[in-house]
Amino acid sequence: MKPLLITMGDACGIGPETIAKLFRTDAARGCVVLGDVGVMRRAARLTGGLLPVAGIERAADARQLPPHCLAVLQAQGLPADLLDAPLGRVDARAGAAAARCIEQAVSLVRAGEAAGIVTAPIHKEALAAAGVDFPGHTEMLQALAAEAGQAPPPVRMMLANDELRTVLVTIHVALRRAIEGVSYDAVLQTIRIAHAAAARWGQPNPRIAVAGLNPHAGEGGLFGDEEIRIIAPAIAAARAEGINASGPYAPDTVFMRARHAPPAHPGEFDIVVAMTHDHGLIPVKYLGVEQGVNVTLGLPFVRTSPDHGTAFDIAGTGRADASSLAAALRMARRLAGVSDGSARR
Q: What is the predicted pLDDT for the residue at 344?
A: 40
Question: Above 70 in pLDDT, residue 342?
Answer: no
Please give the pLDDT value at position 244.
98
Q: What phi and psi values does residue 245 have, to the nearest 5 degrees? A: -110, 150
Averaged pLDDT of the chain: 93
316: DSSP letter: T
For residue 124, CA distances in Å to 12, 94, 133, 189, 233 come to 13, 11, 10, 26, 35
333 pLDDT exceeds 50? yes
pLDDT in tens, 9-46: 999 999 999 999 999 999 998 899 999 999 999 999 99
The residues pairing with 119 across neighbouring beta strands, listed in sequence order, are: 7
Q: pLDDT band for 345, please (50, 70, 90 cuts).
A: very low
C-beta separation of 181 from 169 below 8 A: yes
pTM value surpassing 0.75: yes
Please give the pLDDT value at position 341: 54
pLDDT tens per residue, range 115-141: 999 999 999 999 999 999 888 888 899
**Residue 343 confidence (pLDDT):** 40
172 — pLDDT class (breaks 50, 70, 90)? confident
Q: What is the pLDDT of residues 72-97, one digit of tens each?
A: 999 999 999 999 999 999 999 999 99
Instruction: Give the whole-number percent of the chain exceeding pLDDT 70.
Output: 98
Helix extents (H) in the chain: 15-23, 37-46, 92-110, 124-129, 137-144, 175-181, 184-198, 226, 232-240, 254-258, 277-286, 323-336
Complete domains list, the chain, with CATH: 1-154+299-345 (3.40.718.10), 162-287 (3.40.718.10)
pLDDT tens-place string over residues 302-331: 999 998 899 999 999 999 999 999 999 999
